[in-house]
Each structure stands twice: as structure tokens, then as C-alpha cells.
Amino acid sequence: MRLPIDTGTMRSGAGRSTGGTRTSGRKLDDETLLDVRAAADRLGCSERFIRRLVQERRIPFVKLAGTKIRFEETSLDRWIASHRVEVIN
């Protein structure tokens, strides 16, 4: 099964840096919004996996300007904590 590509985040190198530093988040009311790449880095997975989680509505996200998606840092932290599996001895 093919998954649709979020064209808003992949448009002809948009958001890709050619050198120097790149900011991976934007501030909105004291909350940092992460793009797909930064969320993937934070979770230690691929951007494709993040997009799949979004398509399946398995991870909280914010949709901006039609096709752009962002992730609140605190929401990602809560999501990670809620999926923690404790070891039983």
C-alpha cells in the first residue's frame, strides 16, 4: 500500500539547508513546533515512519496552512511517555 506524500514539507528542497545552522522548530505561544525531520530526529526514526504515524492518526500533530504538519514538543514527550513499556521482573 502506498502512502501519500505530504507535498507541503517536500516541495523542491523547502526547509533544507545548504550550509550553516538550520532551525528545526518555530515558537508559538512559548511552545516549540517541530517539523517532520526534527520529530524524526527526536524519536530516532525515519521521516517516512513519522508520516505514516500521522496518516494513521497514531501521533498528535498540528496541521498548518493546508498540508504542513508540525509537532508540539510537549505533545511528543507525552506521547513517548504513554508508549513506555515497563520491564516486569
| pLDDT tens track for 38-74 | 999 999 999 999 999 999 999 999 999 888 999 999 9
Digit-coded pLDDT (tens) for 1-52: 444 445 444 433 444 444 443 445 666 566 789 999 999 999 999 999 999 9
Q: How far apart are CA 79 and CA 53, in angstroms?
A: 12
Looking at the structure of the chain, the number of domains it has is 1
Q: Which domain holds residue 62?
A: 30-83
Q: Which residues contact 85 (CB under 8 A, 6 or more apart)?
A: none
Q: Is residue 9 part of a domain?
A: no
Q: Is residue 17 part of a domain?
A: no
Q: Is residue 20 part of a domain?
A: no
Q: Is residue 34 part of a domain?
A: yes
Q: Is residue 23 part of a domain?
A: no
Assign residue 65 the CATH number of its domain. 1.10.10.10
Q: Global pTM?
A: 0.64
Q: Is residue 89 part of a domain?
A: no
